[in-house]
Amino acid sequence: MIKAIRGMHDVLPTESAAWRYIERTFRQLMDSYGYGEMRMPVVEKAALFVRTVGEATDIVEKEMYNFVDRNDERLCLRPEGTAGCVRAGIENGLLQRSGPQRVWYCGPMFRRERPQKGRYRQFHQFGVETFGMAGPEIDAELLLLTARLWKMLGINGLELQINSLGTVAARARYRQQLVAYFNGYLEQLDSDSQRRLKTNPLRILDSKNPSMQAVIDGAPKLCDCLDDESEKDFSRLCALLDAAGVAYSVNPRLVRGLDYYEKLVFDWVGTIGAQSTVCAGGRYDGLVSQLGGPVTPAAGFALGIERLLALLDEEKLAALKPVSDAYLVLAGEAAREHGLVLAESVRDTLPELRLRVNCGDGSFKSQLKRADRSGASLALILGEDELAEARITVKYLRQERQQQTIPQTALTALLREEICNHVQERG
């Protein structure tokens, strides 16, 4: 039997209800802040990510799904959304003299990692990118809207960590200091960190190895090397967050795996298996020009939808299971035929009604059982008796109430009264 590719998963009808709920919430949130939706291709030129994410990063070095197209172009499945979003913005003229842009997107990303909880080879991100706004106000807006998102979804217990990496120049200076420092303690570094010293020395700072903590604690601090502008923006951002009542902690060791970040970076952390980051982002003022666009300040973040789902309250998820409103029970061949026709006319007038028709075999008893399990509040019964008189029986499955047999012509009015008038918004 052919099975799904490792690390790639099917979303079943019971689970997709939660996905729809989350996606609906994203749309609501983004609408309320005035962000527009972008939809980018899943396949891009590999060079796009090599140049932006960074040649020496794990994502590019060993996790990308690369392939050569029939015309010998080197393509890949996108490992993240920001680079493609910037490429699309430049290519479509969104970043040429058109003022600030606020956009979002949602879709699958691909990284060939070893799967575990909260980490899959095809995973899904909700991403937000802003262009043309330099100040810390837009950074604060991004953090405020994520905080609002947690509130909308009923997620508690995420912690906001922020840090400033400084400008590219400041970070390069710091990197030199750091390499010099760690080179003096080479024998105390574990093998991972010795490797990182050459590839991404800032990463050594968030090593989980307890035996390295002493060396790390003695390392020069990034915040001591910050340029004036980064420092000023960072403290301004802190003041904005304070004013808005968003709690955060400054984590001087918070760094990024993607090369394009500078100045502000942030993480919303929780616990999903061994993974902690749910949502992460920052500022990437150099990326647009690096990809051939005009010099454009930019900031954004991405959020892992699978990780977000893992944080959703079980009770809340259970309440999202798809249910029908009414289930049409059909006894006898004539009723089966007439039932389909009747259901169509009901849907003509009540499109928001969720009506499931029993199709195929099933005893009367088992049809009622299916009606019950469908979650329907009403069973509509059409048998030989009803058919002969052009009537239909309505049985209340969720209330102590006598069933009634009414003319079929009165059915839509009854359904509108009993169900449609009480239906709130639903996904």
**Chain positions contacting RNA, by CB under 7 A:** 3, 5-7, 57-59, 62-63, 80, 111, 113-120, 123, 125, 192, 196, 200, 203, 207-209, 256-258, 267, 273-280, 302-304, 306-307, 331, 361-366, 368-373, 379, 381, 383-386, 393, 395-398, 403
Q: Radius of gyration (Cα) for the chain, nearest Å?
A: 28
Q: Residue 195 Cβ, how far from RNA at the closest point, in Å? A: 8
Pick from 327, 291, 304: nearest CA to 95 = 291
Toward RNA, which CB reaches closer, 52 or 101?
Answer: 52
How many helices (H) and strands (E) would you count in the chain?
16, 16
Residue (102 or 391) nearer to RNA, CB = 391
Q: How far is the CB of 120 from RNA (least distance, A)?
A: 6
Minimum CB distance to RNA smaller for 188 or for 349:
188
Residue (3 or 422) nearer to RNA, CB: 3
Q: How far is the CB of 99 from RNA (least distance, A)?
A: 27
To the nearest whole angstrom, how small is the minimum distance from the Cβ of residue 6 to RNA? Answer: 3
Q: Terminus-to-terminus CA distance in the chain, angstroms? A: 35
β-strand pairing of 326-330 with 355-357: parallel
State in angstroms the smallest separation of the CB of 135 from RNA.
23
Q: For residues 97 and 208, which CB has a smaller minimum distance to RNA in the complex? A: 208
3-state DSSP assignment of residue 39: coil
121 vs 351 by CB, closer to RNA: 121
Long-range contacts formed by 338-346: CB under 8 A, 24+ apart: 338/382, 338/387, 339/382, 342/382, 342/392, 342/408, 342/411, 345/412, 346/411, 346/412, 346/415
Q: Rounded CA gap, 301 and 282, in Å?
A: 6
Q: Cβ distance 23 to 124 under 8 Å?
A: no
- The CB-of-206 to RNA minimum distance in angstroms stands at 8
Cα dihedral value 414, 420, 422, 427, nearest 10: 160
**172 Cβ neighbours under 8 A, 6+ residues apart:** none
